[in-house]
Chains A and B, each alone.
Chain A
Amino acid sequence: MDAEASSCTSPEAPTSFPADVTSSERELVERTRKEPEAFGLLYEEHYHTILNFLYRNTADVNLAEELTSRTFFKALCALPKYVHRQPFRLWLYAIATNEMRMYWRAEKTRHSVLTALQRDVKAGRVLFHSSEAQADLEDRMRRYSSLVELLGALPEKYRIPLSLKYIESLRLEEIASITGKRLGTVKSLVHRGLKLLRRSANQKNATLAPSPHLSMVEGGTQR
């Protein structure tokens, strides 16, 4: 805990973001400054989002929990510096993204996403909500792992916007707020990132599409 508390740093303020912070959230954050219970409410609201965001970018439940802890401790430390220029959720995303960057830079080795995923699914630590049949589940894991591994191979500056856009389904304006970049820059990064990803997928002949028999059964997407 000490290490977490002593390493408090505030994320950079976003450069541009439309002020759509709701009044209730503003009120809650203000209460947080005085009441620990209010911070508990914010925590309850955002824990799931941040944990899953970190898991989807690390493919390791334990690590995601550790980074989630760091994210919330840093948020707690930086709370006095928080200004209502962006929603609290995006501010947390920004801290979590920084934590993830630091981890990526320190940890160069990459493990097999599929192996880790199979292990975590088997252990009941990770769920695919729509999976029922075993073959179906295996296929979902394979597709998801291929995608995450392709993303993981991209340079960081492309990986984060793509992950935020396509895995977290955030808007470009929100990504700009999280990454602290201009909207135009983010659009450009997403465009170039997709191009790189496409090239990489073609080179590796990655199997991102569902198995033919599953496509026929499902007929589409489930998220």
Chain B
Amino acid sequence: MTAHELETIFSQVEVPNVVEGEHRQALKERLLAAHADIPVEGVHGGATPKSRVLRAFNSFFSAQRRAVAAAIVFAFILGGFVTWDLLNGRASVAWAAVEETLQATPWVHTINKDPVKGTAISECWYQSDPPGFFMSLKVKGSPGYVFYADYALKEEWVYQPAENIVTIHTLRPENEKPRGDLYLQLINGNATAFPGLAIRSVQRGKSKDGITPFDVLLQEPDKADGRKGLMRVWVDDSLKLPVRAEAYDISQDGKQSGPMSVCEIDYPQSGPADIYAAGVPRDAKIMDARPAKDVARILAEYDKLRETFPKKYKATVIINHSEQKNLQEIWIVSRDGPNYHLDCYTQDVKRAHPEPLTFDEARTAIETGTAELAAGYIWGKDRHVSELYRAGKNAGHIIMKFREPDGCPELNSESHIPEYIGWPSVSQMPAKRIASDDLQLAGLVGIQVNQVNLGVVRKDQFWFNPQRDSIADRRVLDPYLDGKPWLRTVTEYAQLPSGHWYPRHIQNNLGGKPWWDIWLEVAENPALPPDTFNAASLRRKADSGMR
């Protein structure tokens, strides 16, 4: 390409023009308002209009200057009390009015930005009536991930751009509450930035240029030392509506973090009519995952039975690995309500054909030190912190903090948490009832879920046992690993004094071969030592030898 050709191309490329919006008029008004305060050269000695007035005033009343000055001082003091409120913005908008106006607004639109780079991360629209919520993630390529929640129909629509699939399913529990970022952050104090926090106080700042800043302090309800957060909100006095909000975390010692999230807010008269209006291509494949009514009822009951499992127990879990026969894994799990203490021990039994441990043998191995302490977790509602101590070459003590209360993956592990061993999670993907002629499955309730991941469809079959608190008696994930299916079967049940059932033994097979098995023993309402959920005791254990 020659320079001449390039010049020709330059002349051929059409240059776009910006469609002028409100900015033109708004900027003009601001400029003209500012014009009065700009020093002007060559006119009145370059003084501002304000100083010109004062100079004229002073020269005319030069004889009485002192008297006038005294009068001004007197008037200033007298009027000070009146004007103080005005100067401090107290005549500006009140927070209650902001709340009221906000709730009456049909649509709220936010652009959420990276607080460091300032780039847009996501865009949200919140509709108040009927309640709806759209979120479009700003990712490379167009369009990105799009989420739409219809609270009236209790449905959510999710667009996955990589697969070009829209999945429709019932609202998941974490999405059941209306999720306008603004409502949650400002009104309910239940923001994505601050889950579970409520507004504790609101402090209004000084209004300037028609914008009033508010500091909204949020705190965990009913806890003096609970987690705190701060929302700084800028409210347009004339609209009585927030136009910008920033979220800050506040540590226990009162230190304020840098902004965690920043959002710009506006109030359009309308928003996306449907998920397609939010950028989803019309040719996207639809996967309707809304369960049939009977399936929904079965799954709801299944989840409920997991939730109603006793919340105070001490469990011993023994895991035997078929491929590493010498390795035996023992978990001691203590739970009291939201608090968990998990200790994991491993034992290398150097025998040619080790027999699986009995529960008594496992506990003896821990007491005598034959089993080595490998990891442990303290987890509680008050402190979403996981503490891990490790032995061996990588001995050490790691503290992991989680923002979400259910952020610790160990807590819903189907390998060592009794309620999940019995009732492993079922995907929210499409579910249907299935039946079988297999006599081993007689009396069990079958559900099949089709999972799609990177174009591969996996069939998840669950067979619930209605005679045993709907425990998942059998589960098949096909394919699971290297194209082989994973079969998980409860071979033995046990019952607690309260009447609750739990699986005592589970056998896992991969591709028809034994893979690993779980032995579980649960003691209900045990007497737990007082420091069971105290992280300090965990640290002492970690520091004292790391056996």
Binary flags per residue of B184-214, CB closer than 8 Å to A gives 1, else 0: 0000000000000000000000000100000
Binary flags per residue of B1-14, CB closer than 8 Å to A gives 1, else 0: 11100110111111
| A184 on the B face (CB < 8 A) | no
Known: A79-B38, A147-B10, A198-B6. Is A109-B17 also a contact (CB below 8 A)? no
Contact of B9 among A5, A40, A191, A208 (CB under 8 A): A208
How far apart are the CA atoms of A30 and B15 in the complex, in Å? 34
Contacts of B273 in A (CB 8 A): none
How far apart are the CA atoms of A117 and B142 in the complex, in Å? 12
B43 touches A33 (CB 8 A): yes
How far apart are the CA atoms of A40 and B19 in the complex, in Å? 20
How far apart are the CA atoms of A126 and B19 in the complex, in Å? 5
Contacts of A65 in B (CB 8 A): 23, 27
Interface residues in A164-180 by Cβ distance below 8 A to B read 166-167
With both chains docked as a complex, state the minimum distance between the C-beta of A107 and any C-beta of chain B, in angstroms: 9
A61 touches B34 (CB 8 A): no
| B21 on the A face (CB < 8 A) | yes
Contact of A34 among B3, B27, B39, B40 (CB under 8 A): B40
Contacts of B117 in A (CB 8 A): 109
Contacts of B119 in A (CB 8 A): 109
B41 touches A201 (CB 8 A): no
Which B residue sits closest to A131, measured CB to CB? B14
A167 touches B15 (CB 8 A): yes
Contacts of A210 in B (CB 8 A): 12
Contacts of A64 in B (CB 8 A): 18
A144 touches B19 (CB 8 A): no
| B393 on the A face (CB < 8 A) | no
A144 touches B209 (CB 8 A): no
B27 touches A68 (CB 8 A): yes
| A17 on the B face (CB < 8 A) | no
How far apart are the CA atoms of A111 and B1 in the complex, in Å? 26
Contacts of B32 in A (CB 8 A): 36-37, 39-40
With contacts defined as CB atoms under 8 Å apart, how many contacts are there between chain A and chain B in the complex?
Answer: 140
Known: A51-B20, A166-B7, A198-B2. Is A130-B14 also a contact (CB below 8 A)? yes
Contacts of A141 in B (CB 8 A): 16
How far apart are the CA atoms of A91 and B27 in the complex, in Å? 19
With both chains docked as a complex, state the minimum distance between the C-beta of A92 and any C-beta of chain B, in angstroms: 13
How far apart are the CA atoms of A64 and B209 in the complex, in Å? 22
Interface residues in B205-228 by Cβ distance below 8 A to A read 209
Contacts of B12 in A (CB 8 A): 143, 209-210, 220-221
Contacts of A191 in B (CB 8 A): 3
With both chains docked as a complex, state the minimum distance between the C-beta of A154 and any C-beta of chain B, in angstroms: 12
B27 touches A69 (CB 8 A): yes
Contact of B19 among A119, A125, A167, A202 (CB under 8 A): A125
| A84 on the B face (CB < 8 A) | no
Which B residue sits closest to A136, measured CB to CB? B14
Binary flags per residue of B24-43, CB closer than 8 Å to A gives 1, else 0: 10011011101111111111
Interface residues in B440-484 by Cβ distance below 8 A to A read none
Which A residue sits closest to B46, measured CB to CB? A80
B1 touches A201 (CB 8 A): yes
Binary flags per residue of A9-48, CB closer than 8 Å to B gives 1, else 0: 0000000000000000000000001101101100110011
Contacts of A47 in B (CB 8 A): 20, 24, 27-28
Contact of A76 among B3, B21, B38 (CB under 8 A): B38
How far apart are the CA atoms of A119 and B209 in the complex, in Å? 32
B35 touches A36 (CB 8 A): yes
How far apart are the CA atoms of A80 and B348 in the complex, in Å? 86
A72 touches B43 (CB 8 A): no
With both chains docked as a complex, state the minimum distance between the C-beta of B121 and any C-beta of chain A, in angstroms: 14
Contacts of B209 in A (CB 8 A): 1-2
B28 touches A43 (CB 8 A): yes
Known: A80-B46, A166-B10, A194-B3. Is A128-B16 also a contact (CB below 8 A)? yes
Which B residue sits closest to A33, measured CB to CB? B40
How far apart are the CA atoms of A210 and B8 in the complex, in Å? 12
Contacts of A61 in B (CB 8 A): 18
| A195 on the B face (CB < 8 A) | yes
A43 touches B9 (CB 8 A): no
B7 touches A194 (CB 8 A): yes
Greatest chain A CB density within 10 A among B3, B13, B20, B41 is at B13
Which B residue sits closest to A44, measured CB to CB? B28
Which B residue sits closest to A150, measured CB to CB? B6
Known: A80-B46, A115-B142. Is A144-B16 also a contact (CB below 8 A)? yes
A5 touches B16 (CB 8 A): no
Contact of B14 among A52, A68, A144 (CB under 8 A): A144
B36 touches A36 (CB 8 A): yes
Which A residue sits closest to B22, measured CB to CB? A65
Interface residues in B109-164 by Cβ distance below 8 A to A read 117, 119, 142
Contacts of B11 in A (CB 8 A): 166, 221, 223
Greatest chain B CB density within 10 A among A52, A72, A125, A208 is at A208
How far apart are the CA atoms of A201 and B37 in the complex, in Å? 49
Binary flags per residue of A209-222, CB closer than 8 Å to B gives 1, else 0: 11000000000111
Contacts of B35 in A (CB 8 A): 36, 39, 76
How far apart are the CA atoms of A52 and B16 in the complex, in Å? 8
A147 touches B18 (CB 8 A): no
Binary flags per residue of A44-88, CB closer than 8 Å to B gives 1, else 0: 100110011001100001001100110011001101110000000
Other A-B pairs, 13, CB within 8 Å; known A117-B16, A194-B3, A209-B12 = A34-B40, A39-B32, A43-B27, A64-B18, A73-B31, A79-B38, A128-B16, A167-B10, A167-B15, A194-B6, A198-B1, A208-B6, A221-B14
Q: List 13 A-B contacts (CB under 8 A).
A: A1-B30, A2-B209, A33-B42, A64-B18, A69-B27, A109-B117, A125-B18, A125-B21, A131-B14, A198-B1, A208-B9, A221-B14, A223-B15
In order of increasing CB-CB distance, the 10 nearest A-B pairs are: A80-B41, A36-B35, A166-B10, A221-B12, A65-B23, A208-B9, A126-B16, A36-B32, A194-B3, A55-B18
**Residues of chain A having any CB pair with chain B under 8 Å:** 1-2, 5, 33-34, 36-37, 39-40, 43-44, 47-48, 51-52, 55-56, 61, 64-65, 68-69, 72-73, 76-77, 79-81, 109, 115, 117-119, 121, 124-131, 140-141, 143-144, 147, 166-167, 191, 194-195, 197-198, 201-202, 208-210, 220-223
